[in-house]
Chains A and B, each alone.
Chain A
């Protein structure tokens, strides 16, 4: 059984209530940190743990916290990114809905380390029912003295609020999120300056993902070194993988980083293999934005080595033959899936979600959707396939935020690995599936 840090108690009835969470040892990390650690010592433990951001980019959390200017007179903010909208990703909802106090405990630890006196959890508007669960848990934490003034007599005070979005994937990008939290359109800001310098209301701010924050109580309770002993290489600790598509057991799984991909897909402990005994065709391993890989390349690298669920192993081979761990949204397709149609749904998604600030992204995503629609419905030409590649190349790297890349990579990779399938659509003048 893999080490369980985030989901250990997830099936305990009533876990979302303060009483049950507390009985299981909850909030002991806050007690420990406020009694024994300075804020910098908390940061040091996080740095030592090697914890990397779980929102998709995998940036080391301790290092990000280290960028905060602590000498400024301005307030500092700690913001939780609960926008979870990357297709295939549904892990943060699992935590927020079933174990909100673990997220709140992590928010208290991070806020203490950064010296934030007010913190926000920004949650996508569609998840209002989860917002209500979290707000209830926040109320309980206030009533029990873990939020508010002078927490546990430590002199540290914190107010925590939950803020809804309103349906915009781009607000998951951290600077767009901050704009949205300020009551504006979710247009990403040009970086630098980074949020650590100019963030919410112009003040130093750290934005972290739900899963990153939920790992903090364990790290403080057990020490950064204990966390760093789990995992493989620079992929420390455990990761939530939300698995969906054509598998027998879709769901949210906590894995130790370094688990072989093959074991994740086929073992009964995880996905339980492909539905109806079908053959594995392709996997999008880290949310819709990462390159799609055919079965042979997701199970083994191009060099024939076993592929593992880790940041390094999944990206082995670069964009030619590798992919990325991303957000952990693991989408599995069997032989009945049409790669072109799947890609069309992604293209529609990115076109719909482009904020419209940069023309390559705004226009390019629309063109890609249109062309893919043409090919899928049997009206495409061979030239259209190359045109798609060309457009994707013109978007990639030419935009303010990475949504442009995120829209380009799935297209480029699908054509790289499944070109025959696009050509078949053109030749047959219809979808072969």
Chain B
């Protein structure tokens, strides 16, 4: 398993981006920037939010750490545990299920030799299930970082997997960039 990063400082480019976001809200309402900033922080911290990273976010927004924890734990896109480099999120809600999501999920599990929620021993892949991704017309659908892959077949899944294997895919990149 990979080491567990703990970013407690952003570079100037990221800080500039965060300041621009804070300026979108009225004076004193900088807490509104919390979700966008957590997305950025998670991407910079290898795909998960450590308490150190969350404390740093709290200091940036001048709010209490508990205000960050309670939000980070509420939203399903935030990971409070380390994840693999490439997180494969398989939609398994009704419309995707009607069009074969179970088969796609089982295929990823058998190809990677792990179950939902697990990470491969080399730290490269994590499989998660997610709820409806608002792309049901092209079911089954998976999400990897900010990419959607739609109308998935087991063959397409294999193609994607080999591509990700060979390029050492990292799914957590700063979503604003």
In the complex, 18 of the A-B residue pairs with CB atoms within 8 angstroms, ordered by the A residue number, are: A86-B132, A87-B132, A90-B134, A163-B32, A163-B36, A166-B38, A167-B75, A183-B32, A183-B34, A184-B31, A184-B70, A201-B29, A246-B98, A250-B139, A284-B94, A331-B136, A345-B93, A348-B92
Residue A78 at the B interface, CB < 8 A? no
Q: Which of A163-177 contact B (CB under 8 A)?
A: 163-169
Q: What are the interface flags for A229-253 relative to B under an 8 Å C-beta threshold, 1 for contact and 0 otherwise?
A: 0000000000000111110001110
Total chain B interface residues with beta-carbon distance under 8 A? 44
Task: Give the complex CA separation of A126 and B92 in angstroms.
Answer: 15
**By DSSP majority rule, is chain A's interface helix, strand, loop, or mixed?**
mixed
Number of A-B contacts (CB under 8 A): 153
What residues of chain A lie closer than 8 Å to B36, measured between beta carbons?
A: 163-164
Residues A87 and B94 in contact, CB atoms below 8 Å apart? yes
Residues A169 and B131 in contact, CB atoms below 8 Å apart? yes
B75 touches which of A131, A132, A168, A252 (Cβ 8 Å): A168
Q: How far is the CB of A401 from chain B (nearest CB, A)?
A: 15
Task: Give the complex CA separation of A34 and B85 in angstroms.
Answer: 50
What residues of chain B lie closer than 8 Å to A252, measured between beta carbons?
A: 137
Beyond A87-B136, A342-B97, 15 additional contacts (C-beta under 8 Å) are A86-B132, A87-B93, A87-B131, A88-B94, A89-B134, A89-B136, A126-B143, A164-B36, A166-B78, A181-B32, A183-B67, A329-B136, A331-B94, A345-B97, A349-B93
A125 touches which of B77, B97, B137 (Cβ 8 Å): B77
Q: What are the interface flags for B45-72 relative to A under an 8 Å C-beta threshold, 1 for contact and 0 otherwise?
A: 0000000000000000101000100110
Residues B130 and A342 in contact, CB atoms below 8 Å apart? no
The residue on B at minimum CB distance from A182 is B32
Residue B111 at the A interface, CB < 8 A? no
Task: Give the complex CA separation of A114 and B91 in angstroms.
Answer: 38
Task: Give the complex CA separation of A410 and B67 in angstroms.
Answer: 35
Residues B137 and A164 in contact, CB atoms below 8 Å apart? no
Most B CB contacts (10 A, CB to CB) among A75, A89, A163 go to A163
Q: How far is the CB of B109 from chain A (nearest CB, A)?
A: 18
A87-B95, A180-B35 are known contacts. Are A126 and B133 too (CB-CB below 8 A)? yes
Residue B122 at the A interface, CB < 8 A? no
Task: Give the complex CA separation of A355 and B29 in angstroms.
Answer: 24
A85-B134, A89-B134, A90-B137 are known contacts. Are A166 and B76 too (CB-CB below 8 A)? yes
Total chain A interface residues with beta-carbon distance under 8 A? 60
Most A CB contacts (10 A, CB to CB) among B63, B74, B143 go to B74
Residue A127 at the B interface, CB < 8 A? yes
B134 touches which of A124, A184, A185 (Cβ 8 Å): A124
Q: How far is the CB of B173 from chain A (nearest CB, A)?
A: 10
Residue A427 at the B interface, CB < 8 A? no
Residues B26 and A75 in contact, CB atoms below 8 Å apart? yes
Residue B39 at the A interface, CB < 8 A? yes
Residues B31 and A183 in contact, CB atoms below 8 Å apart? yes
Task: Give the complex CA separation of A135 and B56 in angstroms.
Answer: 27
